[in-house]
Amino acid sequence: MLADLPSDELPRPDGAALLDAMPMPVMLVGRNNRIRHVNSAAEPFFGMSSQHLVQMHLSDVLAADHPIFLLVEQVRRDGVTIAEHELTLDGPRLHRSGITVQGTLVAEHPDGVLLTFHDSSAARALDRQLTFRSAARSVSGMAAILAHEVKNPLSGIRGAAQLLEGSVCESDRELAILIRDEADRIRDLVDRMEIFSDKPLERRPVNIHRVLEHVRLLAQQGFAANIRFVEEYDPSLPPVWGNRDQLVQVLLNLVKNAAEAMAGEGKAGEITLGTAYRHGVRLAVPGMEQRVELPLVVSVRDSGPGIPESIRPHLFEPFLTTKAGGSGLGLALAGKIIGDHGGVIEVNSRPGRTEVLLHLPVVAEGRGQP
């Protein structure tokens, strides 16, 4: 019986197997808020193994003045279930916002409080991703129109400008050159937009760690030569059901954005590449009969200044850029590619830390697709 044991000696609960099967993170804290048990979903949530977490106190995971401590004390004092909504959790390897935390008294012991953490960020990311996909489809249609209705007459305009260059006076020749250069610029813009076309996506099992290693090597040999890379991989991950070249394109773009964000910081930057498997991550997608399972998470995290809050809702919209000379198509294309893979992108940012998470399907065991 739990009641026969001291408050600081809570054993593994009788229902531990049931807690481990729950898809959301669960944590049991005892007297002095020492962590007594966490389920498997809590490991990727807190960024630490269960063996590590159960040797810690709650204050080792969260700041001592966090509202969760008041919630735990109130649950103990009043013996009722209490929930706090839209909390931000900050810790050594934890930064999550929009979290609902529910505290429940353990019936067998008055000091044991069970905490469950509900993260709706993936669902919100799906809503945003559906918007991004809609924007990408609009660009796809526009690109098709431009390719057929603009590029052909544009070639004629450019050819005529070239002919004029050799048959007009010097002052008019400058105008002919200007026409030619502007025609080239418009052609290049149309070419960039054509990458949004709805071509069939060829997919096969892909080892995501090989993709990440390839991206890291490319970055370190070029634009990220002075940046420190940290790898936090789950080596047991199954393959991704995807297109290797397009995944390289997305991750290389994210790493490049991270490197450029840290370029003006005046100190050595750090980019962390990570992978994790989140059990029970299933999302309802409008227009699909079955819920989408996206258990594999690939993350790119940097130590830069963070993304301005004003542009975060528009990050993946075409032509949005804060870079001088940028096209604003890189992240829009990333959103489209991940959407074509059946996945979603989640972005969490604050000063000193920006993390982009790719939620992707995996290859089911014994099958060639999810």
Q: How far apart are CA 5 and CA 111, in angstroms?
A: 11
**Could you tell me the two tokens for 265?**
């910081």
Q: Provide the residue type at 111 as one letter.
A: D
* Mean pLDDT calculated for residue range 155-177: 83
Using a cut of 0.85, tell me whether the model's pTM lies above it. Answer: no
> In which band, very low, low, confident or very high, does the pLDDT at 122 lie, cut at 50, 70 and 90?
low
pLDDT of residue 175: 84
What is the reported pLDDT for 7?
A: 42
Tokens 């996506």 — which residue? 201
Amino acid at site 282: R
Q: Can you give the pLDDT at residue 280? A: 57
**What percentage of the chain has pLDDT greater than the value 70?**
72
Residue-wise pLDDT for 247-294, tens only, equals 998 999 999 989 988 887 666 789 999 998 876 556 555 445 555 677
Alpha helices, DSSP H, located in the chain: 16-21, 42-46, 50-53, 58-61, 67-78, 121-149, 151-165, 170-193, 208-220, 244-262, 330-340
The domain ranges of the chain are 2-119, 124-196, 204-360
The yes-or-no verdict on residue 10 having pLDDT over 80 is no
CATH topology of domain 204-360: Heat Shock Protein 90 (3.30.565)
Task: Name the CATH architecture for the domain at 2-119.
Answer: 2-Layer Sandwich (3.30)
Cβ burial of 42 (10 Å; 0-12, 13-18, 19+) is: buried
> Residues 98-115, buried b or exposed e (16+ Cβ, 10 A)?
bbebbbbbbeebbbbbbb
* Contact by Cβ (8 Å): 365, 162: no
Residue located via tokens 């604050």: 350
Average of per-residue pLDDT across 177-198: 75
pLDDT for residue 198: 62
Cα–Cα distance, 305 to 175 (Å, whole number): 44
Residue 206 has pLDDT above 90, yes or no: yes
CB of 362 closer than 8 Å to CB of 296 = yes
Q: What mean pLDDT comes out for the span 302-317? A: 79
Residue 322 pLDDT exceeds 60: no
